[in-house]
Amino acid sequence: MAKQNIYDNEIFFEGYQKLRERGVNANNLFEIPARYALLPDLKGLRVLDLGCGMGDDCREYIRRGAKEVVGIDISEKMLEAAKAKNADPGITYIRMPMEDLYKLEGGFDVVVSSLAIHYVEDYKGVIREVNRLLKKGGEFIFSQEHPVNSCYGGGERWTKDENGIKIYSNLANYGIEGERESTWFVDNVKKYHRMFSTVINDLIDAGFAIERLTEPVPTKELVAKYPDYYDLYHRPDFLLVKARKI
């Protein structure tokens, strides 16, 4: 079955680039700081980045002392940008979907993935391969769309008062796992919803010990500066997991 490669869609890619170029976005304010806080000391380590995108994180891992970073991504456009903007002798970029991790040799100290896991249908297969690729005691650190968001498949996400203020998030079909389609820059963007328990239990079954979970929410100071992010108190955008190979 063909793997989704939405980032090579020209309209989607341009929209995503513009979003990331804005300094104030959820990635920069919440996901990146939370993920970096979970990283170990990378000095001298081998790092694999799943869904490396434009390579910003790969370059940061080198800056933090990683000996070698391998970044894989299914998108040719993303990797072209990575090679142009974030080339380094210590970084190797490979065009590959996560479902093809069996093609890689192991021996990594850390595997990291930023907001890519929820695009993968075969989650169990991918995390089994991640476990194989890691050295014993190696760490798998990833972020994904939070399950209370990935269950969304249509309809109104929020209940609002007469002034348009969000009162609470609407939750539906959380217990029905599987493919969802959404509109984000373009129509028919596919992602896969898994319950929180599935995300964690499948990791345990694959041979991982769970070390840390993070669901980033804003500080009061940040909400005072950017009031739109108050809705994260109702439901967080992201789930981050740190697991160790047993």
Using one digit for the tens of pLDDT, what is the confidence trace for 172-206?
A: 999 999 999 876 555 668 899 999 999 999 999 99
The residues that bridge with 108 in the sheet, in sequence order, are 134
φ, ψ dihedrals at 124, nearest 5° = -60, -45
Give Cβ neighbours of residue 161 (< 8 Å, ≥ 6 apart). Answer: 167
Q: What is the mean pLDDT of the chain?
A: 91
- Hey, what are 124's tokens? 């169990």
* Mean pLDDT in residue range 36-41: 98
pLDDT given for residue 155 in this prediction: 79
pLDDT given for residue 192 in this prediction: 95
Buried b (16+ CB within 10 A) or exposed e, 78-94: bbebbeeebeeeebebe
- Beta strands 134-145; 68-73: pairing state: unpaired
pLDDT given for residue 196 in this prediction: 98
CATH of 6-245, one of 3.30.70.100, 3.20.20.70, 3.40.50.150, 3.50.50.60: 3.40.50.150
pLDDT given for residue 189 in this prediction: 80
Domain residue extents for the chain: 6-245
Residue with tokens 């939070």: 146
The answer, as to whether pTM is greater than 0.85, is yes
Q: 206: closest CA among 241, 238, 240?
A: 241
pLDDT given for residue 1 in this prediction: 46
User: Does position 7 have pLDDT exceeding 60, yes or no?
Assistant: no
Q: What is the DSSP letter of 208?
A: E
- Hey, what are 141's tokens? 């650190």
Q: What is the pLDDT of residues 50-86, one digit of tens each?
A: 999 999 999 999 999 999 999 999 999 999 999 999 9
Q: What is the pLDDT of residues 123-142, one digit of tens each?
A: 999 999 999 999 999 999 99
- Band (pLDDT 50/70/90 cuts) for residue 154 is confident
Helix (H) or strand (E) holding 159: strand 158-160
Q: What is the pLDDT of residues 200-227, one digit of tens each?
A: 999 999 999 999 999 999 999 999 999 9
